[in-house]
Amino acid sequence: MMEACVTTDPVEEAILRLVAARGHGKTICPSEAARALGGPHPDGWGPLMQPVRKAAVRLAHRGQLVILRKGRPVDPDSLKGVYRLALPPDEEAGLSAVSGADDDI
């Protein structure tokens, strides 16, 4: 089971709080994290989009987050374009899915 990692980075904290609130199987837009930190006006949250992207990459490298494009996980190091953020798959759900896949063999 993955242990929760404590972070002091407010951008990482905002991302983790939002994806946890959304729950497994759901995603957030990176701009949601930027808006949570910078407020509703684009002058406040717009400059935070790059820090959100960088924080998402760090979190993905630590296994605390999955970065998705078109609903599929992507390599954080080759991230380009529009993306969404989600909690990593639940380990128990992943194990049951794997064991269920073997039943047809």
Confidence of residue 77 (pLDDT cuts 50, 70, 90): very high
Mean pLDDT of 44-48: 97
Residue 13 is encoded by which pair of tokens? 């904290």
- Report which of 20, 46, 18 is spatially closest to residue 31, judged by C-alpha positions: 46
What single-letter amino acid sits at 94?
G
Confidence of residue 104 (pLDDT cuts 50, 70, 90): very low
pTM of the model: 0.79
DSSP code at position 58: H
pLDDT at 45 over 50: yes
Rounded (10°) CA dihedral 30, 34, 36, 37: 150
Contacts of residues 90-99 at CB distance under 8 Å and 24 or more positions apart, as own/partner, are 90/24, 91/1, 91/2, 93/24
pLDDT value of residue 39: 97
pLDDT value of residue 7: 72
84 SS3 class:
strand
pLDDT at 41 over 80: yes
Among the CATH numbers 1.10.10.10, 1.10.287.1080, 1.10.3720.10, 1.25.40.10, which is that of 10-102?
Answer: 1.10.10.10
Q: What are the extents of the domains in the chain?
A: 10-102
**Percent of the chain whose predicted confidence (pLDDT) is above 90:** 76
